Amino acid sequence: IDIKSLRSATGGVITLDPGYKNTGSCESAITFLDGENGVLRYRGYSIEELAEKADFLEVAYLLIFGELPTKEQLDKFDKDIKSHSVVDDDIKKILDAFPKSAHPMGVLSSLTSALTAFYPTSVDVTSEEQMYNSIVRILAKFPVLVAWTLRKKHGLPLDYGDNKLSYVENILKMMFKSPSSDYEQNPILVNALDKLLILHADHEQNCSTSTVRIAGSSHAGLFVSLASGISALWGPLHGGANQAVLEMLEAIKADGGDTKKYMAKAKDKNDPFRLMGFGHRVYKNFDPRAKIIKAAADEVLNDLGIDDPILDIAKGLAKEALEDPYFIDRKLYPNVDFYSGIIYRAMGIPVEMFTVMFALGRLPGWIAQWREMRLRNEPIGRPRQLYIGETLREFKTIEKR
């Protein structure tokens, strides 16, 4: 491209970077990611250590406020969240209006947006205190919306949580409690969900997070900015990959389990099929989250005594891909979503809810990024373009076209 023509067309030189592959949109102190070496850290702490030693609420606090909480800080955070765990009953009417077949991500995005109408003070966040109130409110209500979305699908009554339980225990109980029997916590599932949510909690300027930041940069409120992020997460090239992976593995199983056939399809440039759960925009070595989650999948299935042929197909595909020049040359490795669906399935979570579970995990990251953007007084996000359309044309009336 000739720079002179760029100047005359746009009034200034524009950096063209489709997909923002090499464009930094902000400075951030939240998540460190080194894609070449497979390193991921939240606020300086390695993801491996956090997944092993912390729980999800501690990690949420760390991401949002920058430091691991003391016992007092964590207790207060937990208490403040619990004090907001009731969702206006009229939200149930909105939920009722959705068809049973509605995709849970569409429902969740709509309900999150709708919360703004019920809690209008959440929009105006000029002080840190107002910000804090919006943050604990959404951390409290989001799991309720998630649980209700699932329960509505299963035709179960819409309940609230149990304030005696931990954040993650409460999520599981709200989702699965049957109206006819007592709910018993399964520590294996609590531990697995804690891990999964921590691993998904932030990932610097990915598609949904950038969406949250850019929507929020217009000073739209937190809840609607999050709703925009949920919509961005839905797509199969992003959060929707976990659903797509499981559907792909099911399809391979139904087709006789011939992984080689699907490897060939993925490599065929005339076939739009991609091996879902492989490749990552930033990780060009391995996804450190995938390593942790693969071990967790083995552990959970083992502990629950589940022998899942889908896991064997997944392992077969991963092994073949790791030895295949096509995948090696393009640095395509299993990503976090390659294994997460297997664990969610073992937990009894339906496939359509997988991306919702991702959103639940990503919530603190979105909040942290939105808060950082507002506290740094970042300008409104407004990329430019390279115009490639017609030059000035004369208008023709409809009879003359």
Query: Does 41 sit near ligand ACO (CB under 6 A)?
Result: no
Contact 51, 30 (CB under 8 A): no
Q: Which of 176, 278, 354, 370 binds ligand ACO (CB under 6 A)?
A: 278
Query: Does 277 sit near ligand ACO (CB under 6 A)?
Result: yes
Q: Nearer to ligand ACO by C-beta: 143 or 277?
A: 277
Query: Does 360 sit near ligand ACO (CB under 6 A)?
Result: no
Query: Does 321 sit near ligand ACO (CB under 6 A)?
Result: no
Q: Is-catalytic flag, 162? A: no
Dist CA 373 CA 380 (whole Å): 10
**Residue-wise burial string across 45-67, b where 16 or more C-beta atoms lie within 10 A, e elsewhere:** eebeebbeebbbbbbbbbbbbee
Q: Nearer to ligand ACO by C-beta: 115 or 244?
A: 244
Strand, helix or coil for residue 252 = helix
Residues that bind ligand ACO (rule: CB under 6 A) add up to a total of 19
164-171 contact pairs (CB < 8 A, 24+): 166/55, 166/57, 166/190, 167/55, 167/56, 167/57, 167/78, 167/81, 167/143, 168/55, 168/56, 168/57, 168/193, 168/194, 168/197, 170/143, 171/143, 171/146, 171/147, 171/360
Query: Does 368 sit near ligand ACO (CB under 6 A)?
Result: no
Q: Least Å distance between CB 337 and ligand ACO?
A: 5
**Per-residue x/- marks for ligand ACO, 371-390, CB under 6 A?**
--------------------
Q: Nearer to ligand ACO by C-beta: 151 or 200?
A: 200
Q: Which residue is nearest to ligand ACO (CB)?
A: 279
Burial class of residue 299 in the structure, from the number of CB atoms within 10 Å of its CB (0-12 exposed, 13-18 middle, 19+ buried): middle
Q: Nearer to ligand ACO by C-beta: 92 or 274?
A: 274
* 45-46 β-sheet, strand order: 31-34, 39-42, 45-46
Question: Near ligand ACO by CB under 6 A, which window of 119-127, 254-262, 333-341, 345-353?
Answer: 333-341
* DSSP at 30: S
CB atoms within 10 A of CB 102: 16
Dist CA 228 CA 242 (whole Å): 19
Residues 106-165 interacting with ligand ACO (rule: CB under 6 A)? none
Q: Least Å distance between CB 239 and ligand ACO?
A: 6
Q: Is-catalytic flag, 337? A: yes
Query: Does 354 sit near ligand ACO (CB under 6 A)?
Result: no
The amino acid at residue 362 is R
The active-site residue out of 280, 303, 308, 329 is 280
Strand, helix or coil for residue 32 = strand
Dist CA 399 CA 383 (whole Å): 38
Strand, helix or coil for residue 234 = helix
Question: Near ligand ACO by CB under 6 A, which window of 43-51, 78-86, 163-171, 235-243?
Answer: 235-243
Q: Least Å distance between CB 238 and ligand ACO?
A: 4
Question: Near ligand ACO by CB under 6 A, which window of 40-48, 234-242, 301-309, 368-376?
Answer: 234-242
Query: Does 275 sit near ligand ACO (CB under 6 A)?
Result: yes
- Active site residue ranges: 280, 337
Per CB under 6 A, residues contacting ligand ACO are 19, 237-239, 241, 266, 274-281, 330, 332, 335-337
